[in-house]
Amino acid sequence: MQYQISNQPVAGVQASCIVVTLDQSGKLSDAANAIDQASGGFIQARIDARDIEGKTAQTLLLPAVAGIGAERVLLVGTGKETLKSADAVKILNAIASATSGYSGNVALALAHLATDTLPAAWWAEQIAQAYGNALYKYTETKGKKDDAAEKRQPDSLTWLGDDVSAAFSKGEAIALGVAYAKELGNLPPNICTPSYLAAEAVKLGAAGALDVTILDEEELEKLGAGAFVSVAKGSSEPGKMIVMKYQGAADKNAAPHMILGKGITFDTGGISLKPGLNMDEMKYDMCGAASVLGTMKALLELKPAINVIGMITSAENMPAGHASKPGDVVTTLSGKTVEILNTDAEGRLVLCDAMTYGINNFKPASLVDIATLTGACMAALGRVNSGLFTTDETLAGELQNAAAYSGDKVWRLPLEDDYQELLDSNFADMANIGGPLAGATTAACFLSRFTEGTPWAHLDIAGTAWNSGGKAKGSTGRPVPLLVNYLLAK
């Protein structure tokens, strides 16, 4: 999609649709008032008829009106109070949903909504993402495709106001990354295997400035990554560890910032088998990996002057005669031993060896892992906030700031030493679960033992990576917006 900036009089703007606003008191924005006057009071007549009340994100589509250049007018409510970011996003999503099916140009008279808290650049960035969400549609494994319907979408967006071109570019890059992460998450697990994710990383590398390395299961076993292998060996699909190196900084040797995604492309629970109900959704257990690929895609579009390592640790967790059993003890790449009390706590096993590999080989300035790790986090935070765990206050602040700006929310959960004893084992250095209480925290405690002093944070996205049930079912692409904003601030 193309993005344009214009300062021409609103009534004369040529567009398939122009978007203007009113608040809940019925007050029209200056742009809406200009159109109302040029059309002989057409908008005010609709307000007087109570066709629209101006509630937050309420919309009313009006047909072509004599006296204005646009073919349609979308009237959007902004509510009755100063807009918070969550309400602003609702408004932008409503606009994108209402106009994404029109070809031609959509003009946006929204500059008056900008504030010190939500500047014009923020609005432009978010509207680009809103259109990305509105236009995304999964079709890959559907037999009948309506090509004509897919092609019907805006050719361009015109922002009526000051130049926000850079913000549009950033928002579009994030939207591309989100759509990519959604697509990977939504693919069925017989297609999106560890080998598929590895091939996607190679494609990204070929298309942009990425150096990609793939370590297979056999290599990792030789290296001593016993925790990873304990998960991967139960499947006929070979496990992979994927490393993507982006070097955008002037100093190519500057310590990189690492993001590491859990990529369990299907999780049966292994020998500790999950219940059958909704098990199909365990294809989403690789959404951490998808978010890393989506973030790297966005970085290739934006080309920031930083060094980033994107890592994915990927396997299937399956029951088999040679799969790990509860009670097994395995030796991690770090040399620490783990008693596997539950084979369904596999994500931390593949992540810990990847953390050790990444820290030993790249000496990162920071490490953030992203994982659909625990149902306990979902139970605590639902589908609104991702769980944030770290003892590094600087890193916590950076991630919280990125979350607040992007609207990709996080909530910080405890990571205190008092919880570590729940992982005690009589037969190994630690167990892979800590019992029925504080499950999200004990999972983070487990990972913390493999950080080796590196500034580290853990994002548990079990509740936010996908939506369940009905028409809403599907990957969300989170936390790509959070990760991109976090890395761009480095």
- pLDDT confidence bin for 414, thresholds 50/70/90: very high
Percent over 70 (pLDDT), the chain: 99
In a domain, 257, yes or no: yes
Is residue 281 within a helix (H) or strand (E), and if so which, with residue range?
Answer: none
Q: Say yes or no: 157 and 257 in one domain.
A: no
Q: Tokens representing 261? A: 């995604």
Statement: residue 150 has pLDDT above 80: no
Q: Say yes or no: 111 and 238 in one domain.
A: no
Report the pLDDT value the prediction gives residue 26, as an integer from 0 to 100.
93
At CA 481, angle to CA 60 and CA 78, rounded to 5? 25
Q: Say yes or no: 117 and 142 in one domain.
A: yes
Report the pLDDT value the prediction gives residue 392, as an integer from 0 to 100.
98
Q: Say yes or no: 351 and 258 in one domain.
A: yes
**Separation in Å, CA 357 to CA 62, 165, 221, 449:** 59, 40, 13, 14
Q: Tokens representing 148? A: 């004509």
455-488 pLDDT, tens digit each: 999 999 999 999 998 889 999 999 999 999 999 9
- pLDDT confidence bin for 146, thresholds 50/70/90: low
Across residues 236-255, what is the average pLDDT? 97
Report the pLDDT value the prediction gives residue 64, as an integer from 0 to 100.
83
Q: The domain spanning residue 122 has which CATH number? A: 3.40.220.10
Catalytic residue among 274, 336, 412, 490: 274
Q: Say yes or no: 153 and 189 in one domain.
A: no
Q: How far apart are the first and last CA of the chain?
A: 28
Across residues 241-248, what is the average pLDDT? 98
Mean pLDDT of the chain: 96
Q: Say yes or no: 86 and 201 in one domain.
A: no
Statement: residue 121 has pLDDT above 70: yes
Q: Given 116, 133, 162, which residue is the final one in a domain?
A: 162
Cα-trace Rg, the chain: 24
Across residues 450-456, what is the average pLDDT? 97
Statement: residue 207 has pLDDT above 90: no
In a domain, 399, yes or no: yes
In a domain, 170, yes or no: no
Residue 395's domain comprises: 175-488
19 contacts: CB under 8 Å, gap ≥ 6 = 73, 74, 76, 95, 99, 106, 107, 108, 109, 110
Separation CA 459–CA 373 (nearest Å): 9
Annotation marks residue 274 as catalytic: yes
pTM tops 0.75, yes or no: yes
Report the pLDDT value the prediction gives residue 2, as an integer from 0 to 100.
95
Q: Is 344:365 a contact under the CB 8 Å cutoff? A: no
Annotation marks residue 363 as catalytic: no
In a domain, 167, yes or no: no
Report the pLDDT value the prediction gives residue 82, as an integer from 0 to 100.
86
Catalytic residue among 170, 297, 348, 409: 348
DSSP summary character for residue 28: B
Higher pLDDT, 145 or 244: 244
Across residues 106-131, what is the average pLDDT? 97
Report the pLDDT value the prediction gives residue 165, as an integer from 0 to 100.
98
Q: The domain spanning residue 415 has which CATH number? A: 3.40.630.10
33-89 pLDDT, tens digit each: 999 999 999 999 999 999 999 999 999 999 988 899 999 999 999 998 889 999 999
Q: Say yes or no: 288 and 383 in one domain.
A: yes
DSSP3 helix / strand / coil % (the chain, rounded to 5): 40, 20, 40
386-403 pLDDT, tens digit each: 999 999 999 999 999 999
Report the pLDDT value the prediction gives residue 116, as an integer from 0 to 100.
95
371-391 pLDDT, tens digit each: 999 999 999 999 999 999 999
Percent over 90 (pLDDT), the chain: 95
Per residue, what are the HEC states of 376-443? HHHHHHCCCCEEEECCCHHHHHHHHHHHHHHCCCEEECCCCHHHHHHHCCCCCCEECCCCCCCHHHHH
In a domain, 132, yes or no: yes
Q: Among 118-122, 152-156, 335-339, 441-445, which is the least confidently predicted range?
A: 152-156
Across residues 127-133, what is the average pLDDT? 98
Report the pLDDT value the prediction gives residue 275, as an integer from 0 to 100.
96
Statement: residue 280 has pLDDT above 70: yes
Across residues 211-221, what is the average pLDDT? 97
Report the pLDDT value the prediction gives residue 87, as an integer from 0 to 100.
96
Angle at which helices 85-99 and 120-135 pack, to 10 degrees?
A: 50
419-447 pLDDT, tens digit each: 999 999 999 999 999 999 999 999 999 99
Pairing of strands 307-317, 257-267: parallel
Q: Say yes or no: 115 and 11 in one domain.
A: yes
Q: What are phi and psi of 289, to 5 degrees?
A: -65, -40
DSSP summary character for residue 66: T
In a domain, 482, yes or no: yes
Q: Say yes or no: 202 and 290 in one domain.
A: yes
Report the pLDDT value the prediction gives residue 152, as an integer from 0 to 100.
80
Residue closest to 429 by CA, chosen among 328, 333, 337, 331: 337
Q: Say yes or no: 403 and 259 in one domain.
A: yes
41 contacts: CB under 8 Å, gap ≥ 6 = none
Residue closest to 132 by CA, chosen among 19, 297, 244, 249: 297
Statement: residue 147 has pLDDT above 70: no
Q: Say yes or no: 131 and 237 in one domain.
A: no
**Separation in Å, CA 362 to CA 144, 247, 308, 355, 358:** 46, 12, 10, 10, 6
Angle at which helices 480-488 and 393-406 pack, to 10 degrees?
A: 120
Separation CA 235–CA 54 (nearest Å): 55
Q: Given 162, 185, 211, which residue is the final one in a domain?
A: 162
Across residues 408-424, what is the average pLDDT? 98
Separation CA 384–CA 378 (nearest Å): 9
Residue matched to tokens 């001593």: 224
Number of domains in the chain: 2
Q: What are phi and psi of 247, to 5 degrees?
A: -120, 90
- pLDDT confidence bin for 134, thresholds 50/70/90: very high
In a domain, 169, yes or no: no
Q: Given 105, 140, 162, which residue is the final one in a domain?
A: 162
In a domain, 216, yes or no: yes
Q: Tokens representing 101? A: 């099916």
Q: Say yes or no: 158 and 179 in one domain.
A: no
